[in-house]
Amino acid sequence: MKNLLPILTLFLILHSAIAQTNSVTGTVVDHNNTPIFGANVSIINTTKGTQTNENGVFEISNISDGNYTLSISFIGYRTKEVSFLFQTKTMCI
């Protein structure tokens, strides 16, 4: 891949949703802050993952407390990995 390709920027918000279902939500945007539709977002070493919607937003549900690494990929961009500690509270990275 070209070195000039923009790197994905990720705004990640972790929260505990209603009914004790923990979920990871966030928005994937490019270097111009434009949402990326259809980016693949998965939690490494699990079977959990999804794709971003037309606003670049994703949500992965049923997450237990622990350390995780998200992998975000999209054609034409470098894959980005973001590690985080999930503790059923709101957190911005």
Q: Is residue 55 domain-resident?
A: yes
In a domain, 2, yes or no: no
Domain count, the chain: 1
Residues pairing with 27 in the sheet: 11, 57
Would you write out the chain's pLDDT as a tens digit for each of its 93 residues? 444 344 444 445 444 434 456 788 899 999 899 999 999 999 999 999 999 999 999 999 888 888 999 999 999 999 999 998 887 654 444
DSSP string, the chain: --TTSPBPEEEEEEEE-GGG-EEEEEEEE-TTS-B-TT-EEEETTSS-EEE--TTSEEEEE-PPSEEEEEEEE-TTSB-EEEEEEE-SS-EE-
Statement: the pTM of the whole predicted model exceeds 0.75? no
Q: What is the CATH classification number for the domain harbouring 58?
A: 2.60.40.10
Does residue 68 belong to any structural domain of this protein? yes
CB 85 within 8 A of CB 53: no
Domain assignment of residue 56, given as a range: 9-92
